[in-house]
Amino acid sequence: MSDVQGYIDREMHRFQEELFEFLRIPSVSTSSEHTSDIRAAANWLEARMREAGLETEVMETQGHPVVLGEWRGAPSGAPTVLIYGHYDVQPAEPLEEWHSPAFEPTVRDGNLYARGASDDKGQLYLHIKALEAHLKGAGSLPVNVVVLAEGEEEIGSPNLLPFVEAYHQRLACDAVVISDGSMFAPDLPSLLFSLRGLAYFEIHVKGPRGDLHSGTYGGAVVNPGNVLARILASLKDETGRIAIPGFYDDVMEWDPATRDAIRSLPFDQEGFLKEVGAPSLGGEPGFSHLERVWIRPTCDVNGFLCGYTGEGAKTVLPSRAMAKVSFRLVPRQTPDRVRELMEEHLAQVSPPEVEVRLVELYGGRPWKADPEGEFFEAAKKALEDAFGTPPVLAGEGGSIPIVVDFQEILEAPVLLMGFAPPGANMHAPNEWIPLAYFEKGIRAVASFYTEIGG
């Protein structure tokens, strides 16, 4: 192990310089003008993975390529770990809000600012460097590894699931490790025990053929705007609980130990309220703040539009109204079942004077870890070694649908260990990561392999 950590000590400066190079490539996956940058990032990454000691391949998909790296020289019987990450980034706009250029990595106060610093180039690259530290510092790894780096995460990974299905034998592993999130608090690492799923819909209400004069027709023609408001209001009761019949039937009640653990986490309610800037916080009665965002489902209006919304008064009775509504799901719920419940509910609450149409835009299942076993224990120990404090078990309110797919297709537990700082400005201007977290991440991941092999 001293070989490995010693290698990291000696090469840390070069590791950082390489990360800067990686971050300078504007590999924005959503924009066709960056297609060659995506390709350049894939090739650059492949070359560094090869130099680190992996066998590599840039594999084509229907979209941006996957970079695969493999090392299968571990002693017989040693486990195989799959590392997933992505080399594409979000657009950098609005550019004028960056204090230094988005694709010119800049260090201020020990923090590295650049698009992709945390999401996910910085976190993907620390994994590559941890592998290199073993392979070059100690000559081998105690485990077999497969690195799967995709270039379409920021556009919803349209080709990842087909890829995993097609290559599931080559990707076969005993554990999946993903670093694409944040630590629970500054200097406090975490391992995730859950992710929420998502069911995202549009509701369309159509009344008269065209917009009407609200004076001439108002009172005799049912208004799609009023109807949609009533439908949206019917989705939750006045306490904030979801009022769709049957919605909670599949919602898992968590064990008291987990709920106690969540409640005991150091959460700064006042700081959160200040950050959010709302008059006050709210949510489902009987649950703490972190429970509300981690282990309880939601129903949120994401947007709505109807009629005239410009300046002044236009006396229009609108022809149609639409809303985007999404539900965050928790274990045992499925997007399919929620769609069925929504359809049944809308049939109940929709008046006959309008047409109501439900469109499902997107669905992703929730995920729950079984945070036990050798890999979790090894991860806990490794994170404590690197950060000087044991990780907390944390939930995540957002959704990463591929996690469920990995777990099911590869039949392996998934470890989500994020090294981004809270408030990393992922998807926003001035994205950053402390250089210390980049280094501690390398050390933690390197220790993780040592722990598994030990």
CA distances from 298 to 152, 259, 301, 303, 398 (A): 27, 18, 10, 15, 11
Rounded least distance, CB 237 to a copy of itself, Å = 10
Q: Which of residues 319-348 bind a copy of itself (CB under 8 A)?
A: 321-324, 326, 328
Rule CB under 8 A: is residue 352 a binding residue for a copy of itself?
yes
**Is residue 243 a contact point for a copy of itself (CB under 8 A)?**
no
Q: Nearest-5° angle of CA 327, CA 333, CA 336?
A: 75
- Binding piece for a copy of itself, criterion CB under 8 A, among 163-171, 225-233, 340-348, 386-394: 225-233
Site for a copy of itself contains 229 (CB under 8 A): yes
* Burial class (CB within 10 angstroms; exposed 0-12, middle 13-18, buried 19+) of 407: middle
Based on CB atoms, which residue is closest to a copy of itself, 80 or 326? 326
Q: Using the rule CB under 8 A, is 278 a contact of a copy of itself?
A: yes
User: Given CA atoms 260, 265, 269, 274 in this order, what sign does their dihedral have?
Assistant: negative
Q: Tell me, rounded to whole angstroms, the distance of Cα 284 from its chain centroid.
A: 23
Considering only residues 63 through 122, tell me which ones interact with a copy of itself, judged by CB under 8 A: none
Q: How far is CA 91 from CA 28, 84, 428, in A?
A: 6, 21, 9
Is the preceding omega at residue 405 within 30 degrees of 0, hence cis? no
Structure tokens at 125: 């690259």
Can you tell me the distance from the alpha carbon of 368 to that of 50, in angstroms, rounded to the nearest whole number?
34
CB of residue 226 to a copy of itself, shortest distance in Å? 5
316-317 and 190-195 strand pairing:
unpaired
Instruction: State which of residues 6, 139, 219, 373 lies at the interface with a copy of itself (CB under 8 A).
Output: 219
Of 110 and 271, which CB lies nearer to a copy of itself in the complex structure? 271
Question: Contact between 407 and a copy of itself (CB under 8 A)?
Answer: no
Binding mask 365-404 for a copy of itself (x = CB under 8 A): -------------------------------xxxx-----
Beta-sheet pairing, 392-396 with 190-195: parallel
Q: Is 225 near a copy of itself (CB under 8 A)?
A: yes
Distance from chain centroid for Cα 166: 23
Size of the site for a copy of itself (CB under 8 A): 81
Whether residue 186 contacts residue 266, with contact meaning beta carbons closer than 8 Å, is answered with no
Distance of alpha carbon 177 from the chain centroid? 14
User: Which residue is listed with tokens 């004076």?
Assistant: 215
- Toward a copy of itself, which CB reaches closer, 139 or 303? 303
By beta-carbon proximity to a copy of itself, the closer residue of 186 and 398 is: 398
Q: Identify which range of 86-94, 157-165, 218-226, 333-341 contacts a copy of itself by CB under 8 A.
A: 218-226
Contacts of 397 (CB under 8 A, 6+ apart): 196, 293, 294, 328
Are 249 and 332 in contact by the 8 Å Cβ rule? The answer is no
Binding of residue 31 to a copy of itself (CB under 8 A): no
Distance, in Å, from the CA atom of 202 to the CA atom of 360, rounded to the nearest integer, reads: 6
- Given a contact cutoff of 8 angstroms between Cβ atoms, the answer to whether 67 and 41 are in contact is no
By beta-carbon proximity to a copy of itself, the closer residue of 110 and 215 is 215
Candidate segments 51-59, 272-280, 371-379, 442-450, binder of a copy of itself by CB under 8 A: 272-280
Shortest distance in whole angstroms from residue 245 CB to a copy of itself: 17
Rounded least distance, CB 165 to a copy of itself, Å: 23
Q: How many CB atoms lie within 10 A of CB 185?
A: 16
Shortest separation between residue 190's beta carbon and a copy of itself, angstroms: 14
**The one among 73, 91, 142, 208 contacting a copy of itself by CB under 8 A:** 208
Residues 410-439 that bind a copy of itself (CB under 8 A): none
Binding mask 281-320 for a copy of itself (x = CB under 8 A): xxxx----x--xx--xxxxxxxxxxxxxx--xxxxxxx--
| Tokens 């297709």, residue located | 409
Least spacing, CB of residue 207 vs a copy of itself, in Å = 5
Nearer Cβ to a copy of itself (62/309): 309
Return the number of the residue (138 or 433) whose C-beta is nearest a copy of itself: 433
At closest approach, how far in Å is the CB of 66 from a copy of itself?
24
By CB under 8 A, the residues from 167 to 206 that bind a copy of itself are: 196, 198, 200
